[in-house]
Amino acid sequence: MRRWGADAQGNGLVNPAELLDGYRDRSCARQWRGFLQAMAAEFDQALPEEESARLMARIGQRFADAHGLPPVGTVEALQASVNAVWADCEWGWARFEERADQLRIVHAASPLAAALAGGAWHHGFLEGAYRHWLRGAGMLAVLDVRHLATGNRDVSIFTVGRVF
């Protein structure tokens, strides 16, 4: 069975993996890709991954502080405010999922994920930004934002739950 709009001769057939790689290549501007890769190599060489993640979280908090959100009354409004910031700077989008025991944040299409296919510490930037925004929205002190490992480099998943 042919997919992706191919005709009977296979003209126009596009491999989904190649298509996704093409989108990744365009999601991080070329003028930043080399810089980000050099920075990542330096982080990887100079700091343990945990330290790099903490540094990126502090950078994310600074970013969130510079991109303050308006007061909101619902998770849906918070999601909309966050997505307005991400859309303005072309940093992908987020979906907030309310669960019985936690809030889950799914962030897709981060240019850092596209540019830095290696270490997972780059998730720290988003973790720090979400932590700052949620604290500003009234997140309780006993709660925190944590990155969850995923098998998909294009998606970052965070959970908001109790700190132990």
Question: pLDDT, tens digit, for every residue of 9-60?
Answer: 555 666 666 655 555 566 666 777 778 878 888 888 898 988 988 999 999 9
Is there a contact between 91 and 111 (Cβ–Cβ < 8 Å)?
A: yes
The pLDDT, as a whole number, for residue 8 is: 47
Q: Is residue 162 exposed (0-12), middle (13-18) or buried (19+ Cβ within 10 Å)?
A: exposed
Is there a contact between 27 and 19 (Cβ–Cβ < 8 Å)?
A: no
The pLDDT, as a whole number, for residue 5 is: 45
Length of the chain counted residue by residue = 164
* CA–CA dist 67, 132 (Å, integer): 10
Distances (CA, A) of 162 to 51, 55, 74, 91, 101: 22, 22, 20, 28, 9
Q: What percent of the chain has pLDDT over 70?
A: 79
Backbone region of residue 107 per phi and psi (left: phi > 0; alpha: psi in -120 to 50; beta: other values): beta
Question: pLDDT, tens digit, for every residue of 66-86?
Answer: 999 999 999 999 999 999 999
* Helix/strand/coil for 145: strand
